[in-house]
Every structure is written in C-alpha cells, then in structure tokens.
Structure 1
C-alpha cells in the first residue's frame, strides 16, 4: 500500500518537507483542515477499493490499518508549528511590572514636558492651604479637568504667589523670589494686602480717605531716610472699608528677579491727604503673624517662561459648527488610568484599527504617577488620543488637509509604490492648567500648551 505521505497532494508534500525551516502562518489553518479532509478521503477510498477487489476480506485488515490511521491522523492535528499563544497580552500592564530604569526615564521625560527637572521635594503633610485668590484664578481660567476655558484671560503662562517671610507687626514685607528664573519675563507684579476695619473707638475719624505708599527698601539700617527707599506704588483708599487692596509694584520686582541680593523687602506707609502720618490703629493691614492665614500679605507675579508650542502648520482651520471627527463617549468618566491596560483580544485590536479616525479617551492620573502630593488641581485630566483608519475617499468629517487628500488618492490608485494612507492624528490641541506647590511651598498656576487632543483628522 502507498505510504500516507504519497497520498497527499504534491504542494503539501513540498510544504511538509520544509517543515523544519518554514513556519505555517496562523492564516493557513483553513488550508490545513482542507488538506486533512482530502487525505482522509483518499485513504478511505483506497481501503474500500482494496476490500472490494478481494472476495474474502482479510480478517486482519481493519485491525492492521487502525493503528496506522491513528498514528498518522494524530500528528496532523498539530502539523506545523503550533499557533502562538497570546495569553501574555491578556495580562494587565502595571507600572510595577516595568523596570525601575524605564519608570525613571518615563517620569523624567514627563517632568520635562511640564518644564521641571525634578518634582517638588515638599512633603505633602507640610502643605498649607492654597490662597483663595489662586483657587479662584484657577477656576476662572480652567474647567474641572484643567483645560483652558479662554486662552486670552492670562497674558502670560505662569502665575506665582508668595507669602510674607518677615511676619512682622510693622508694615514691612519680605518675599523670597529665588524660585523665579531669570529667563522668566515679568509682566505684572501685585502686592495684595488685606485691610482691616478701623478700631471702634476711632470710627468717627474726620478723614474719609488715606494715601497708602509702597516703597522698595534700599537700605534696611535707615529706612526713615528718603534716599534709602524708593516709591514704587501709591493709592488712595477709603478709611472705613475693609477687604483686599492691590498695589502694582512691577518695577521693584524686576530689579529683584535680576539680582536676588537687592531684595531687601517692602515698606508701606499711610498718610492723610495733607501728607501727615496717620495713626496705624486707624488704617490697619492684616499680618501673617497675628491674623488668619487667609488674610496674609501676598505677592502675585504674572510671568511668561517663553515656552510656546510649535505651530501646527498645514492644519485646516475649522469653524465651531463644522463637522468634527466623532469621539467615543466617556461612560460615567470611568477611564483607565495611565499604567493600566484593559485586557483585549487581538481581534478587538484589529477591529478598532478598521474603525474610522476618531478621538478616544486617554486619562492621565497624577496620583498613579505619584504627583498627587504637590499638585493641587486637577487630580488628572483626559489627554485623549487619535486612532483609526483614513480610508479612501476622505470625507469632510475626517477633516483632511489637501495634502492628505492627494496622498489618499495616490495610495488608492497605486500610482507610486510605498505610499501609505494618511494618518489619524490630532488637528486641534488645547492647553491645560496646573495649580501646584513649588519647592518653597509657594502656590503656582502654570499653563501648558498642546496637552489635550481637541479633535482628530486625517493628515
């Protein structure tokens, strides 16, 4: 009788002879099943032909052939290399699973994105409450996820707040500005003082207004002498009012940021409209020593560090009512955090790749990264990412550029080899805002460009 391999088609014999060096791809499983069925039918037909040719069937025919059939059919089930296992893809990815070197490099790169060399070293337990002014400012410029509401609200991209370091009963203030880099461009500097109500016994003072002068101290030994101090701001304020009073002192702060040694503090004087010294019990300002921390003297700097995102050239400007690439809804905002991957099958990934270009969630959780100790707001944000195909023809809902349209046509007509379809990428990016403590426990509001994919398109 012919051997089992001789019953196979010639193309399969060639394949099996090369089994030691040629791997069967998972896509050939269907072909293997056809081959197995074909070989089995040929073998059965051969047996029937031999049985019918003999008038007296051999009593050992069936028992002799059974081991042969079993022997050859069983190897066919696993013929070729076994299908590769994808179980390792189903295991959830965790940050702990990565090497410490990879994690450190990733965190370092992320810090560079946020313009820092190292995270602030301030222990979380020592943090004070952020000034209400900074919280209100953050809520004015950013939504709940930190995304900028209106980019024109702030002239620069950084707002820094500083508390008085002297904590004196006198109207003298000193602010440590060493955390301000010389490269930062100072736009505006404001001194915020909380004015208290006059004492009850002095409420019938005949004056209704007073003049408050703010001086830059040039020599601490003799501040009463005029040439040892420099007037930087002056305002008329109602005597019987209370609340925050703001003085612009940009000139003095510019000098201090260029030379920290020249920072000898500020001196505030209160005089009548005729120029006489007023009783300090009549016009009082809260100090950091004797009053609640919410009323502490504060210096606020509006600066710009010069970090600007590169312009997205070639992006089509789309009006607000133009059709946009669809984005998947966020189910109750239950998004996977960075560092964790939901197990999914290979078929799922392939199906997702075939979906049209769209915006998908990508949530960045600062607690997972280990930054929740010094970031006040937000606790995380949705950066989004773009994924999907850009099939021909590109519709306007794909927001294609002219270049992408031409590339799609060349690819579809196969006019040039090696030309791929356009890519699904962000075509509109939004900035986010971070409110955080720096190394000196000052509260900083900083705006970062191009951190959120606002929409996606084929480019």
Structure 2
C-alpha cells in the first residue's frame, strides 16, 4: 500500500474509526515514546513504525493477534513488555525468577516450549520488564502471525535452584503484557532537486549581452508589481484533525502546521528564491517566449520535514509512525 493509498483509505473509513479512542486506552509507554520523538523532532526509532499489541491474557498465558501487521514491513526489533508488581511477604526471599516460554502446543500438560528469556526480579519493586524476542516474532510474522501465546513462569529460589512456583499477579495496570514490534515499511520517497548550489549556468556571452537590458527592465517592473504580487514565500497551513474527521482514531497530535508555499517566481530569479537551475533556464525561456508554451516556475516546497503520529489501527492497536514529507520547511522556485 502506497503512502497516498494509505491516507486515501483512512479518509474513506474515517466514520468507522471515529469512536475508537473511547474504547481503548493508550499505553503510557507509547505516549512517552511519542513525546520523546516530538520533542527531538527527529526519528530515533529502529525503523519508522512502532506497533503495540495488547495481550489477550488468561492467567500466565499471553496471546497476540498480529493480523494487522503488514507483511511488506521489515521487523527490526520486537519486545515483550510484562508488568511485575511487588510481591507479598516471602520470608527470607529477596528475589524471584521469571522465565518466558514460547508456547508450541496447547496439550493437557504444561505446554512449555522454547525458553525466550529469564531474569531475577526483586520482590519489593514493581515496573515494566522488557524482553527482546525479535527472532521469535520474525518467525511468527513469516507464518502469517500464527502463535500459541507466551507463557510467563515465576518461581522462588530453593535449595535445588528455582523450583517452587509462585502465584502470578492478576492486578490491572492498563494490561499485564504487550508485544511491541518495531518495523520499517522501506518506502522510497521522491527526492526533491537540490537547493541552489551557487553554480551558474553556462550561457554564451552573445546570449547574455541582449539579456542585460531585459533583466534591468524586468527588475524595474518587478518593483512596481511587488505591491500586487508577493514573491515566493512560506505561509501557515494548520491541519486540524478534528475538522477533517480524524480525531476519533488519531491520538496525538490534534493537528499540526503543514505550511504552504505561495507567491510568484518572477524573472530574474535571485538567490533568495532558492531556484533550481532548471527553474532558472525555464524562467529565461518564459520571458523570451521560447517556446510559447514555456510556463513560469512555480513556488513549491523545496524541503519537507517529517512528523510522528500516534493512532489506532483497524484492530484498535496503538501504532506510532514517523511520516516523512509532512511539513513544508522552506519554499523555492521550481
């Protein structure tokens, strides 16, 4: 799906997504990641997309519905986030061990499979534990997202190691577990022509000589027209997501200044107009009417910046995406 098709599909389905935000809460760690990106104004992600999948949990088993993950995306990192609470008094024990298993079957016996990670956790603390499970999730994606769940097993130390299991937490803190997948859709974006480099176009002296008078008369005419038509410049263009019906699925921001380019590109084009060599030649051809259909250069964005958007996808998962080419940061004559 191209970027254009993505935004078109979003626009067509906006009514279906209007009330999503009222049904699903945004994980705090996703909000913090979004705010860090917004503050830095640059992409710090491993890729350009972060998807958070809330676990469908039953006791210690955590299943994830990955049907909304797009197969054309490349997984760069995957994390299992599990929230652990303070444990009740456990005598002399200060630590307990947590192990993660990939569930390979759903038979009558304890369906432990591959061990994905383990660590010691202090009894008297609480917080998120993050396990890197990139290899396993990549395998799931290749199998169309199929997984039997992740099993979390906690045990207290004993004389024979860690053998006695302890009761898992059933507290509610948003949810007890998430799968977070970092990916890159590897879209190739059109690269705008370079800014004015200072290099001049080689035009013969015989051509320049008769142009001198034309340049001088054009400069005088431009001064008289300046009050009627301003030269190429950037103006404000605020996009309010609520007004276009997207506030129900976009979590943050509520809107942003995309900016717009307006004004004329009158001959001769000086350095301040950031004109390309192509635009300079085109302006000369236009003023000489060679050929008749040669049009004037246009005032357009010549540099675009990205923004990050936090939103709900069609499965109500919270997604953070770094979108390129969303803000016109400067304008020029092209």
Q: TM-score range by the shorter chain?
A: 0.7 to 0.9
Q: In the TM superposition, what is the alpha-carbon distance from 1:162 to its structure 2 partner?
A: 1.4
Secondary structure at the counterpart of residue 135 of structure 1: helix
Please list the CA deviations of residues 240-279 of structure 1 after superposition, one character each: whole Å capped at 9, or x if unmatched.
4321110111222222223247311001223449642244
2:142 aligns with: 258
Q: Tell whether the 8 Å contact from 1:353 to 1:388 is kept in structure 2 after alignment.
A: no
Q: Distance in 2 between matches of 1:404 and 1:377?
A: 38
1:29-178 equivalent positions in 2, closer than 5 A: 112-113=6-7, 116=10, 118-119=13-14, 121-122=16-17, 123-124=19-20, 126-142=22-38, 149-151=41-43, 153-166=44-57, 168=58, 170-178=59-67
Distance across 2 between alignment mates of 1:110 and 1:182? 18
- Does the 8 Å CA contact 1:232/1:251 hold for their aligned counterparts? no
Task: Flag the structure with higher strand content.
Answer: 2
Query: Equivalent residue for 1:234?
Result: 118
Tell me which of the two structures has the higher relative contact order, counting C-alpha pairs closer than 8 angstroms and 6 or more residues apart: 2
Question: What is the alpha-carbon distance in structure 2 between the residues aligned to residue 306 and residue 198 of structure 1?
Answer: 44
Give the alignment's TM-score, normalised by structure 2: 0.79
1:146-199: per-residue Cα shift (whole Å, max 9, x none)?
xx7012x01212111111112x3x321111111112222111111111111121
Tell me how far apart the structure 2 counterparts of residues 119 and 317 of structure 1 sit (CA, whole Å). 43
Aligned length, in residue pairs: 302
Output the CA distance in 2 between the equivalents of 1:125 and 1:433.
Answer: 18
Report the secondary structure of 2:163's partner residue: coil
Which shows bigger deviation, 405-414 or 419-428?
Answer: 405-414
> 8 Å contact 2:102–2:151 — kept in the other structure?
yes
Who is 2:172 aligned against? 291
Q: Which has the larger radius of gyration?
A: 1
The equivalent position to 1:423 in structure 2, one of 298, 322, 332, is 298
Give structure 1 stretches of 5+ with no counterpart.
1-108, 319-349
Quickly say closer, same or farther: Cα 1:353–1:131, change in 2 above 3 A. farther
Q: Deviations over 1:311-361 (max 9, x none)?
A: 22344579xxxxxxxxxxxxxxxxxxxxxxxxxxxxxxx989720100112
> What corresponds to 2:90 in structure 1?
202
C-alpha contact 2:67 2:145 (8 A) present in aligned 1: no
Secondary structure, aligned partner of 1:276: strand
Q: What TM-score do the two structures reach when normalised by structure 1?
A: 0.59
Question: Which deviations, in whole Å up to 9, do the C-alpha atoms of 1:189-212 show, x marking residues without a partner?
Answer: 11111111121x21531x54x443
Tell me the CA shift for residue 436 of structure 1: 1.2
Change (3 A) 1:446 1:235: same
